[in-house]
Amino acid sequence: MSATSTQELNIKTTDEDFLPLEGTDYVEFYVGNAKQAAMFYKAAFGFESVAYAGPETGQKDKVSYVIRQHKLTFVLTTSLRPDTLISEHVNKHGDGVKVLALRTKDAKDAWEQTTKRGGKSYLAPVTLSDEDGEVVMSGIHTYGETVHLFIERKNYRGAFMPGFRKWNSVFKPEGTGLLYVDHCVGNVGWNQMNPWVKYYEDVMGFKNILSFDDKDISTEYSALMSKVMSNGNGYVKFPINEPAEGKKKSQVEEYLDFYNGEGVQHIAIATHDIISTVTELKKRGVEFLPIPASYYEDLLDRVGHIDEDLKPLKELGILVDRDDEGYLLQIFSRPLQDRPTLFFEFIQRKGAKSFGKGNFKALFEALEREQDARGNL
């Protein structure tokens, strides 16, 4: 089924964009042990070491490791003390995403434009400088305890930003072909999807480019609703999910229970070669949702001709969907921490700009089997 059959994608650039964004600058995770998390993401995903901040750099109560692959940058942060906001965050939510940082040419203007439209300030504009130049940053709150930071780094040449030093590590694993953040999905509470859609429209000037109701996204047992928000140039896309009534518990509800509130459900990472990326990730221990062999029996009837051989797709559990503009290949990891909260999607787009609506059923049935095994369905 084509994901664009019921609604046209209306991504378009507009010269009236009051919040011009150049994409995702970085994603910051608050975790229980940043040193080990950085090691995990380097070993399993193939990130490079970029920068470090901690007591040795004058930051007394927390440590942060910055890792990167192509344009994808993660920051892993842990508190060194029990009575900090970071410790509270980890205690309440487990390891999770705190910051979705967005690249802008003018962080002061981004803050002024968004806060005057009703955005709640998280960080008033601040200029950080060192011998490599300056970074201006500001920020606003979004769903749950998640925040958006606006990062202006056009006048900075250092490894990451002032306060960090270059991290030279002897451990240099090969990359796995990860490129950049394709989209980043938030799970919000019952009846909260539309208020957050309005927030992204009013405060950040985003547009609702696709909507899925509970009939699009339901199995025999559970359901959810989703709306995809995009900025003007389409570089930043935030689908927002809320649970919907079904015979059993929605996967979004399970997330909300274990995360103790709203937060980032999954980060989709782009690759140019999903077969080699997933082959490598699996070899390094990354676990994916198993897809039944029956999914592949009539796949080509559903999506038409694709360039890839069916065999590796089936062996790896990669899903395929087509829309009016082309097709996409995607796969979903299991949660990356003990709580059934954050997971990753890996996606290769071959023309398609949609999100794999034709795979929702197979995907959610796979998720339900996992939910059931945890006793949470």
Q: Residues interacting with Fe ion, by CB under 5 A?
A: 268, 345
39 vs 181, which CB is nearer to Fe ion? Answer: 181
R_g over Cα of the chain: 20
Alpha helices, DSSP H, located in 21-84: 34-45
- Phi, psi torsion values for 55, nearest 5 degrees: -55, -35
In this complex, which beta carbon is closest to Fe ion, that of residue 47 or of residue 238? 238
Q: Output the smallest distance, CB 220 to Fe ion, in A.
A: 22
Compute the least distance from the CB of residue 34 to Fe ion, in Å. 26
The rounded Cα 363 to chain-centroid distance in angstroms is 17
Q: Which residues contact 101 (CB under 8 A, 6 or more apart)?
A: 24, 25, 26, 27, 28, 148, 149, 150, 151
Using the 8-state DSSP alphabet, how is residue 336 labeled? S
* Minimum separation from the CB atom of position 276 to Fe ion (A): 21
Sequence-separated (6 or more) residues with CB below 8 Å from residue 135: 127, 128, 129, 151, 152, 153, 155, 156, 161, 162
- Counting every residue written for the chain, the total comes to 377
Residue 43 to residue 311: CA distance in whole angstroms = 27
Nearer to Fe ion, 254 or 345 (CB): 345
Quote the tokens at residue 223: 């359901």
By C-alpha distance, which of 224, 240, 177, 196 is closest to 47?
177
Closer residue to Fe ion in complex, CB, 64/333: 333
User: Closest distance between Fe ion and the C-beta of residue 344, in Å?
Assistant: 9
Report in angstroms how near the CB of residue 207 gets to Fe ion at its nearest: 18
Handedness of CA 86, 90, 95, 98 (dihedral sign): negative
Contact by Cβ (8 Å): 242, 251: no
- Considering the complex, state which of residue 156 and residue 288 has its C-beta at the smaller distance from Fe ion: 288
CB nearer Fe ion, residue 67 or residue 331: 331
Instruction: Determine the 3-state secondary structure of 244 from DSSP.
Output: strand
* Shortest reach from residue 319's CB to Fe ion, in Å: 11
Task: State the minimum distance, in angstroms, from the CB of residue 347 to Fe ion.
Answer: 7
Q: Which is nearer to Fe ion, 28 or 345 (CB)?
A: 345
Distance separating alpha carbons of residues 300 and 326, to the nearest angstrom: 14
